[in-house]
Amino acid sequence: MPEQNGSDQSRVDVLESPASAARAERPGARRIVISSHPGRPRVVIIGGGFGGLNAARLMRRAPVDVVVVDRYNHHVFQPLLYQVATAGLSPGEIASPIRWILRRQRNVQVLLAEAQAVDRARRVVSLDIGELSYDYLIVASGAAHAYFGHDEWAQTAPGLKTLDDALVIRRRLLMAFERAEVTTDAETRRRLLTFVIVGGGPTGVEMAGAIAELARHTLAKDFRAINPRETRIILLEGAPSVLTAFSPPLRAHAEKSLARLGVELRKSTLVTGVTCGAVQIGEERIEAGTVVWAAGVAASPLGRTLGAPLDRAGRVQVEPDLSVPGSPEVFVIGDLAKLEQDGKPLPGVAQVAIQGGRHAAQSIVRLIERQPTQEFRYKDLGNMATIGRAAAIAEIGGRRFWGWLAWLVWLFVHIMLLTGFRNRVIVLVQWAWAYFTYQRGIRLITGQGARSG
């Protein structure tokens, strides 16, 4: 049983035997056998995103065996997914195999599997390939797209969370221009060259700016029957302003940059329907060949299996040290955790997941050493977004930047955060080439049913 030390901000718990000890197996369940060091506790990390990887890395010298579970074999740098979707970068330039990232960490094993449920009583994670026992668990399964009760919109308006999502959007964007080139009907052409982005957060704003540059510059001379510069790009935002996490002056700069690119911005606008070829806004119907969803996220359904208190969005209400109430050995981080600091919710950004992953790993080490865990305190390192070529906004350390300087800061930060020296060099070269030539070299229509879009 946990022993409370009397402090509101720290706690020490005495835990039971390692996962290598026998557990009561569920009838019919296949048990996954993982090699481990005798007497070492096993830490299972669900999710190979920012939070999960940083947790695993921090435990490289800890006396534990770490198992990282992810349904994909690669880690994706999600802030640059929109560049894959708009033909600026290729998938391999923003993603790396998880096994390669952790190859030098001898106490880590990687499983390609999907977590389906967590049994806290038995300390077992149910995967699609069997059951995996744990002594400590970090749940970093992230979030999915949120369609606010209209999941049927997903097929028509894809979101942007994975490489597959990015490639689907890239295929639809490029196919829209190809179809417009061969049609003789003016209304059909107008619809095909109308692109709607739903959501005015960083993803939506960056996507709108990138599509505008693709149409106005990259594709401007590629077609004969159409003029890509006549493309209509509409950005819909339900709030009174885009990029609400930024200060009002920077929001104004972002809106001016969007206007210069020819993006139509509609604020305080709620989508009431999405069908094949159209978006409904109240009584107004916007005919559009391509719709991209960037309006919100929903917590991973894995959180519901924890049997812990959830908020209305399905996020787990964690303790101050990020552990699950009643289970000091289970930690939830990133988009799946309901996190507040000084009475305000923390943003769903990579830095929150990164710092949360490190904190959870440190807490596990402290528990093993029978030391009290500490309250998680997020350190805001800044916020930034790019709107296009030499146009960005940034808030770092209380200082505001915009335009060329903010764009350079954005470039530097994103290059440094990429995984692997090779990816950093290639992305830097790609960006330099695009800057001087306005060209995007990854304009390939690929995949199953490529011509169908």
User: CB under 8 Å to 54, separation ≥6 — which residues?
Assistant: 353, 354, 357, 358, 361
Q: Which of 131, 206, 255, 395 is catalytic?
A: 206
pTM: 0.89
- Among 71-75, 132-136, 345-349, name the one with the lowest average pLDDT: 345-349
Q: How far apart are CA 286 and CA 93, in angstroms?
A: 35
The alpha helices in 65-121, defined as continuous H runs, are 81-85, 98-101
3: DSSP letter: B
Is residue 176 predicted with pLDDT exceeding 60? yes
Give the per-residue pLDDT at 63: 96
Please tell me whether residues 262 and 397 are part of one structural domain.
yes
The total of structural domains in the chain comes to 2
Q: Does residue 99 lie in a domain region?
A: no
Please tell me whether residues 198 and 236 are part of one structural domain.
yes
Q: Does residue 285 lie in a domain region?
A: yes
User: CB under 8 Å to 347, separation ≥6 — which residues?
Assistant: 245, 383
Going by their DSSP bridges, the two strands 373-374 and 344-345 should be labelled as unpaired
271 touches 281 (CB < 8 A): yes
Examine the residue annotation and report whether 340 is marked as an active-site residue of this protein. Answer: no
Please tell me whether residues 225 and 280 are part of one structural domain.
yes
Side-chain half-sphere CA neighbours of 29 within 13 A: 19
For residue 348, the domain's CATH number is: 3.50.50.60
Give the per-residue pLDDT at 27: 55
Q: Averaging pLDDT over each range in 13-27, 104-118, 296-310, which range is the top one?
A: 104-118
For residue 239, the domain's CATH number is: 3.50.50.100
Side-chain half-sphere CA neighbours of 18 within 13 A: 14
User: CB under 8 Å to 209, separation ≥6 — which residues?
Assistant: 257, 258, 261, 263, 386, 387, 388, 391
- Residue-wise pLDDT tens digits, 186-201: 999 999 999 999 999 9
Q: Does residue 209 lie in a domain region?
A: yes
Please tell me whether residues 195 and 238 are part of one structural domain.
yes
Please tell me whether residues 288 and 301 are part of one structural domain.
no
Please tell me whether residues 184 and 252 are part of one structural domain.
yes
334 touches 378 (CB < 8 A): no
Phi, then psi, of 302 in degrees rounded to 5:
-60, -30
Q: Which two tokens stand for residue 157?
A: 């308006």
- Residue-wise pLDDT tens digits, 390-446: 899 999 988 999 999 999 999 999 999 998 899 999 999 999 998 888 888 788 898
Q: Does residue 53 lie in a domain region?
A: yes
Tell which residue, 59, 138, 106, 39, has the closest CA to residue 366.
59
Domain termination site, one of 328, 348, 374: 374
What is the overall mean pLDDT for the chain?
91
Question: Helix 202-213 vs helix 248-260: angle between axes, to the nearest 10 degrees?
Answer: 20
Give the per-residue pLDDT at 20: 44
The alpha helices in 183-242, defined as continuous H runs, are 186-192, 202-213
340: DSSP letter: E
Please tell me whether residues 260 and 170 are part of one structural domain.
yes
Residue 239 sits in which domain range? 151-295+389-452
Please tell me whether residues 161 and 276 are part of one structural domain.
yes
